[in-house]
Each structure stands twice: as C-alpha cells, then as structure tokens.
Amino acid sequence: MRRTVHSLASLLLLLALLASACVAPAPADTTNVSSAAATTTTETVSDTATVSDTTAMADTTTAATNHEGWPAVFRVGFFGGDDADEVMNSNEPFRLYMEEKLGIPVELFTGTSYTAVIEAMR
C-alpha cells in the first residue's frame, strides 16, 4: 500500500512538472492603446489576414515538432521495490502516452532505491 502511494505521488509530481513546463506565456497588455493606433493596426491586419493566418499556423506546427535542446531519449525512473517487473508493466501505458505526446523515445527504468533513481536521472 505504501509503495503504491509513493509510486502514485511520484507519477503525479512528474506530470505536474511536465504540465507546468507547457504553460503558454501571458498575452501582452493592450489596454493602453489609443483608438487611432488601434484603427491603424486593425486596417493593417485586415489587409494581411491571410498571410498572418498562414504564418501563425506554420509557427504552431514548427513549435510542436521543434525538439531543439531536448534530450534524444526522455528517461523516467521508478523505484521498483520488491517487484520491479510489475512497476515496469504497470507504467507501460504511461511510456507510450509520453512518447506520443513528446515525439521522442521514452525510456523507463527502475532503481534499487529512490536515491539511485534520482542519481540516474541527473
């Protein structure tokens, strides 16, 4: 029971860390823009809407597949406890999901202790 709680807590911590790294930046504050400047901006945008829309879509696609600076393999360590094989088997769906979402190979491993797992992920 205690091992299960620790495994779940570790998994939730990892997912929270990944989710916090994926937060989009806040939009710029435009409340102080004068109406003349807003009109000019609106006219300019309406003239080039097709180009801007296409560029925005291209930027989104590039950002989703750009793995520059990422490791070649994303490694996730678990404390196996008494049954390392069971830990690996029960986390296989997690590995497949992460590979699909990240677009890079995900490697799961078990360590003989929590300290060994942390040291191996450094």
User: What span, in angstroms and rounded, lies between the C-alpha atoms of 119 and 79?
Assistant: 12
Asked whether residue 112 carries a pLDDT value surpassing 60, the answer given is yes
Residue with tokens 């809407």: 49
More confident residue, 1 or 108: 108
User: What span, in angstroms and rounded, lies between the C-alpha atoms of 114 and 111?
Assistant: 7
Mean of pLDDT values over 7-26: 62
DSSP letters spanning 48-84: THHHHHHHHHHHHHHHHH--TT--SSEEEEEE-TT-H
Indicate the DSSP class of residue 23: P
For 28-55, the pLDDT digits (tens) are 554 544 444 444 444 444 444 444 444 4
Q: Where are the domains of the chain?
A: 71-122
> Do the Cβ atoms of 77 and 109 come closer than 8 Å?
yes
Mean of pLDDT values over 13-20: 62
For 55-76, the pLDDT digits (tens) are 444 444 444 567 889 999 999 9
pTM attached to this predicted model: 0.44
DSSP helix/strand/coil, 113: coil
pLDDT value, residue 5: 66
Distance of CA 18 to the CA centre of its chain: 5
> Do the Cβ atoms of 7 and 87 come closer than 8 Å?
yes
Q: What's the pLDDT band for 114 if we cut at 50, 70, 90? A: confident
Q: Which CATH superfamily is domain 71-122 in?
A: Periplasmic binding protein-like II (3.40.190.10)
Residue with tokens 């094989």: 85
